[in-house]
Structure 1
C-alpha cells in the first residue's frame, strides 16, 4: 500500500483502539479504495479533523491571501465568508501563540531544574 504515514515507524506511537466492526469494515473499504493501509487511512482521517497547528509564517500567508480577496469582494455573502475565514485564522494564531508560550515556559523550567534551582510560576519571565 502507498500513502503510509510520514516519518519513521519509531516516530509513531502505538495506540490500541477498539471500534465497532462495521466502522472497521468501512475504514478498510475506504483504505483499499485509496490504496492505503487501514492505519494510514485512520491517520489521514484524523489529520483532516485535527490538523497540526500552523506556523506564524503560514498564518501570515493566509492573511495576505485573505486581504487580497477582501479587496475584490463583490457581495455581502462573500464578505461574510471572508470574516469567517479571518475568525478561523485568528483562532489558529492564538493557538500557535499559546503553544509557543507553553513550550518556552517548559524549556525555561527544564533549564532551571538542570541547575537544581527551584522554580515557581512567578519565576517564569513571560
Structure 2
C-alpha cells in the first residue's frame, strides 16, 4: 500500500481495548496499526463484483458437488445452488447448475480460483446467508432446501 493510498485518522479508544489490540498485534507479529487494519478488513470485507462472486460460488459448488446422490456434501452443494438461484435471480437449481458449468468450462477461470478464496467466500458470504434464510422466510417464500430440490 503506497502512502497516497493511506489516510491518517486519529480516534479515541478505551485503554483496555488498546491493551487487547496490542496483545493481539504482538501474538500475530503485526504493528498496532496492522492489527487494527486486519480487524477492520475482517469486519468490513471489500465487496465482490457479481462476476467475481459467481466465480467463487461456482468454485464452491464444484468443490462440494457430490459424486453420487445423497453422498457427502450433498446438503452443502444444494445450499450453494439455492444461494446462486436467489443471488443471481434464477428460476431453479437446474439453471444454477447450467450457470456453474458455463463458468467452470473456462480454463482461465478454473485456474484463477484459489481454494483459500473459495473458503473465504463460504465463510463470509454463504454461511451468513444460510443463517439468515434459516431464520426468516426467503424473499422467494421458500426454504433454501426446497429451492435446491426443484
| Residue 90 (structure 1) aligned with residue 84 (structure 2) | no
1:70 to partner: Cα distance: 5.5
| Residue 12 (structure 1) aligned with residue 9 (structure 2) | no
C-alpha deviations, 1:36-91, integer Å up to 9, x for none? 1111100000001101111344212212123325531636753575367x27x939
Q: Distance in 1 between matches of 2:19 and 2:78?
A: 40
Q: Distance in 2 between matches of 1:76 and 1:53?
A: 28
Equivalent position SS for 1:44: helix
1:1-126 matched pairs, under 5 angstroms: 7-69=1-63, 71-72=65-66, 74=71, 77-78=75-76, 81-82=79-80, 86=83, 90=87
**Normalized against structure 1, the TM-score is what?**
0.52
- Which has the bigger relative contact order, CA under 8 A and spacing at least 6? 2
CA RMSD of aligned residues (A): 3.1
Larger radius of gyration: 1
1:11 to partner: Cα distance: 1.4
The runs of 5 or more residues in structure 2 that have no matched partner are 89-120, 122-150
Aligned residues: 84
